[in-house]
Structure 1
Amino acid sequence: MVGSHGNVILKKPEPTDMEAIKRWYSMTDNLGYATGEKDFSEIAEIIQAPEGSNSLVLIIHEHNNLPIGFTYANLNEIASKTILWIRIFLIDPSFQNKGYGTAAIRKLLDYAKSRYKSLTCIVSVSENNVKGLSFWERVGFSADHELEAILHREGTSGVSIMKKEI
């Protein structure tokens, strides 16, 4: 177990968690933006990848051990700086706006910070995802216009890049 923070526990997904993750991936009306660009089969492969990869895959449980969310991130070293890029972060719609997402992000960042001296955390959010943008701002992320400009030059548009230094 990675640990708990408030009313959430972050841990590595178990085979029994796959059903919940697959269900969330089918909720495109509610969670379409949060699942990133990967489909469920790609996520299933990532979850089953051996330890030691640069991926951080965690299931979010509430205190009664009920799976309520999922996160997938990459850790990379760039110019002597560790970058945690949160690729997917989702909370089951029935648990949103109750503090679980905030507690889960705090726990994720505390965990990453305990393992790395210096950390930059990045998340990409669709410009159409008003709730998502608001959430990331509330947990201390701010727009990185320089990185957004680089992505726009490479042909990516409609995405806000948000960053937090820890």
Structure 2
Amino acid sequence: MTEDQFIMKVVNTLTIVELHKITPELENECTQLSVSTEQLDLVASNADSLVHAVNEPTSVPYGIFAEGKMVGFILFDNERYTDGYYWILRFMIDGKFQGKGYGKLAIKEVIKMLRAREDCKQIRVSHIPHNLNANKLYKDMGFTETGELEDNGDIILGYSM
């Protein structure tokens, strides 16, 4: 392990990430977050995701907070399904805050939240095929490709509980 890797590991163990439900007071801050320009075609905007959440009442939007700032956004399905699958529908870390480990810590929080549900057998997420960074992040967190694709061709990954 190099000195740089050790420092990053220490920083990650000291960093706390919290998920806070997006309230009307947080909506503007949430919609101001954006991925980098070259990533814009990889994820929906947070404004679109908030509209999705309004139209799908079982979808719960959360701001990802680190060091007192909103650094990202995650939307997951809160509906209880008979198949035991819970879906992360949208996930992003603002371009200014990427590479700091916040994404991994946020995914850990979602896993912890959903693990508390007896009916949750698997957490699922999908991404467009050329989003290699998302694929690596999810696999680093223990997700595996299911071999299934969404109707639009997105790759589906699952995290078994």
* Of 47, 61, 74, the match for 1:57: 61
Q: Distance in 1 between matches of 2:36 and 2:26?
A: 16
Q: What is the aligned-residue RMSD (CA, Å)?
A: 2.7
Tell me, what secondary structure is at the counterpart of 2:84?
strand
Three-state SS of the structure 2 residue aligned to 1:137 is: helix
CA drift of 1:82 comes to 2.4
Q: 1:137 to 1:26 in 2, by over 3 A?
A: closer
Please give the alpha-carbon distance, in whole angstroms, between the structure 1 residues aligned to 2:65 and 2:139: 23
Q: CA deviation at 1:47?
A: 4.8
Q: In 2 relative to 1, CA 39–114 (structure 1 residues): closer, same or farther, beyond 3 Å?
A: closer
Which of 73, 78, 81 pairs up with 1:75?
A: 78
| CA deviation profile, 1:94-135 (whole Å, cap 9, x unmatched) | 211111111100001101111334331111111111111111
The 1:28–1:138 alpha-carbon spacing in structure 2 relative to 1, beyond 3 Å, is same
Partner of 1:156: 152
Q: Please list every run of 5 or more consecutive structure 1 residues that lacks an aligned counterpart in the other structure.
A: none
Q: Show structure 1 runs of 4+ deviating over 6 A.
A: none
Q: Distance in 2 between matches of 1:28 and 1:16?
A: 26
Q: Secondary structure at the match of 1:115?
A: coil
Aligned-residue offset at 1:6 = 4.7
Quote the offset at 1:43 in angstroms: 3.0
2:138 maps to amino acid: W
2:90 to 64, 88, 91: 88
Match for 2:130 among 128, 142, 150? 128
Residue identity over aligned pairs, in percent, reads 20
Q: Tell whether 2:101 aligns with 1:99.
A: yes
Give the Cα–Cα distance (whole angstroms) in 2 for the partners of residues 160 and 46 of structure 1.
20
SS at match of 2:116: helix
Q: Please, what TM-score do these two structures have when normalized by structure 1? A: 0.75
Contact 1:9 1:60 in 2 (8 A): yes
State the secondary structure of the residue aligned to 1:81: coil
Number of equivalences: 148
Equivalent residue, structure 2, for 1:111: 113
Please point out which of 8, 18, 37 is paired with 1:9.
18
Distance 1:18 1:27, change over 3 A: farther
Are residue 44 (structure 1) and residue 50 (structure 2) matched? yes
Q: Residues 9-59 of structure 1: CA distance to partner in whole angstroms, max 9, x if unpaired? A: 101113342223222358553343132xx772x433345579xx3212111
